[in-house]
Amino acid sequence: MSVSATNRDGQDGQDGHDGHDGHDGRAGRGGFDAPGGGAPRGRRRWAAAGAAALLVLVAVVASLLLGSNLIDPMAVLRRLADRSADTDAVVWGSRVPRTALGLMVGLCLGCAGAVMQGQTRNPLADPGIFGVSAGASLAVVLGARLLGVTSMIATIWFALAGAMAATVVVFLVAALGRGLSSPVPLAIAGTAVSTLLVAVTSFLVITDEATLAAWRIWVIGSLSGRTLDGVGVALACAAVGLVFAAAGWRSLNSLALGAELARGLGENLIRARLVGLCAITFLTASAVAVTGPIGFVGLTAPHIARAGVGGDHRWLIPVSGLVGAGVLLSCDVVGRLLGDNSETPVGVVLSVLGGAAFVAIVRRVRLARL
């Protein structure tokens, strides 16, 4: 690298007062930013974070006030203030739990998506690529078929165990290949393991009607009918995942420059991959265990956040989580209002709206080169 190029890189990367921020700023433009001159800084980042937080606030209010059961907003507020007034348990028994779960799941999927795309340097990467969702699905099916497990609490435990086991298998398969310094073995191993697990799951559900019924309720991806019973373990997994994600943001900024340059900057690539893999696994497993597989949140939320805060993962990860929570809750509210007396699962709404939104993002935002 020439001296002039090095000087330009140093000037471009100045986003703070220490030397490492220069690398962070440059990583923010590693091909993931929206077009138009340099990574967003200062007020623009705070404005984007504030807008994401406002989206979450509006979505929470709408989730509490609106639903398939038409209740006057003032009556909802009275029930929130006095739980004994909620005689039919619509507010405290349904809307409050699904709002809390929507916040947790959206936050986890948004953060996991940002980490996943940073780890693989692939703007089309989704948290499910490591086989987490497929492993959870197979575990739920095995629990229903072999042990007759259909309760929500037991399903959460089985889903968490299956998600963790699938990730361990993916890690071991990747480690037997080219190693973990490159994201390619992990992505290939995750795709292969996911395909195998989906095939086994399909075979099990089509050969037993009871198993199919239990699996169909879980796999559609919905907040409806979910309660807070047994969610403590999922919340603990989410907290662990957030800790790993927060610990790995500097490594993700270095990886955005490429593996060789990151190694030259002193980055331990194996450790960076492991920290990222743990963050993705714990975050995605906790979300999938509670609601079932939900797509497009982990894929689109980082792109929306990146357009506002740039590619610095110190900002990108938390703002992606806020966007994910706001989008998931908003789509859940839309699903409640679509039918007359029934609800459309949030996974279905996200598949329709998320697909259209992602097409718009692809057309308007310059994505990273693979």
**Cα-to-chain-centroid distance, residue 240:** 14
Question: Is residue 111 scored above 90 in pLDDT?
Answer: yes
User: What percentage of residues in the chain have a pLDDT greater than 90?
Assistant: 16
**Looking at 3-7, 278-282, 336-340, which range is the least confident one?**
3-7
pLDDT digits 0-9 by tens, 173-216: 877 766 666 677 777 888 888 899 989 988 888 887 777 877 77
Which stretch, 24-28, 132-136, 227-231, has highest mean pLDDT?
132-136
- Indicate the pLDDT class of residue 6, thresholds 50, 70 and 90: very low
- Indicate the pLDDT class of residue 366, thresholds 50, 70 and 90: low
Q: What is the mean pLDDT of residues 339-355?
A: 78
**Looking at 61-70, 154-163, 260-269, 312-321, which range is the least confident one?**
260-269
Give the dihedral of Cα atoms 172, 267, 120, 329; nearest 10 deg: 100
Name residue 36's amino acid: G
* Nearest of 255, 4, 232, 189 to residue 100 by alpha carbon: 232
Structure token pair of residue 217: 């309720």
pLDDT of 364 reads 62
Q: What is the mean pLDDT of the chain?
A: 78
Listed by start position, the domains of the chain span 46-82+90-364
CATH of domain 46-82+90-364: 1.10.3470.10
Question: Is residue 244 scored above 50 in pLDDT?
Answer: yes
- Neighbour count for residue 82 (Cβ, 10 Å): 9
Give the whole-angstrom CA distance, residue 92 versus residue 210. 31
pLDDT digits 0-9 by tens, 290-339: 888 888 888 888 988 988 888 889 999 999 999 999 999 998 888 888 76
Angle between helices 96-120 and 231-247 (to 10 degrees): 30
* Nearest of 242, 238, 122 to residue 186 by alpha carbon: 122
- Indicate the pLDDT class of residue 365, thresholds 50, 70 and 90: low
pLDDT of 327 reads 92
DSSP 129: G
pLDDT digits 0-9 by tens, 79-88: 888 877 776 6
**Cα-to-chain-centroid distance, residue 203:** 28
Question: Is residue 14 scored above 60 in pLDDT?
Answer: no
How many residues in the chain? 370
Residues 6+ apart with CB under 8 A from 198: 134, 137
Question: Is residue 242 scored above 90 in pLDDT?
Answer: yes
Helices (DSSP H) in 66-95: which residue ranges? 73-81
Give the count of alpha carbons within 13 A of 82, CB side only.
6
Q: What is the mean pLDDT of residues 281-289?
A: 87
Q: Which long-range contacts (CB under 8 A, 24 or more apart) does 194-202 make?
A: 194/128, 194/129, 194/130, 194/131, 194/133, 194/134, 194/166, 197/131, 197/134, 197/135, 197/137, 197/138, 197/166, 198/134, 198/137, 200/138, 201/134, 201/137, 201/138, 201/141
Buried b (16+ CB within 10 A) or exposed e, 229-263: ebbeebbebbebbbebbeebbbbbbbbbbebebbe
Angular region, 225: left φ>0, alpha ψ -120 to 50, beta rest? left
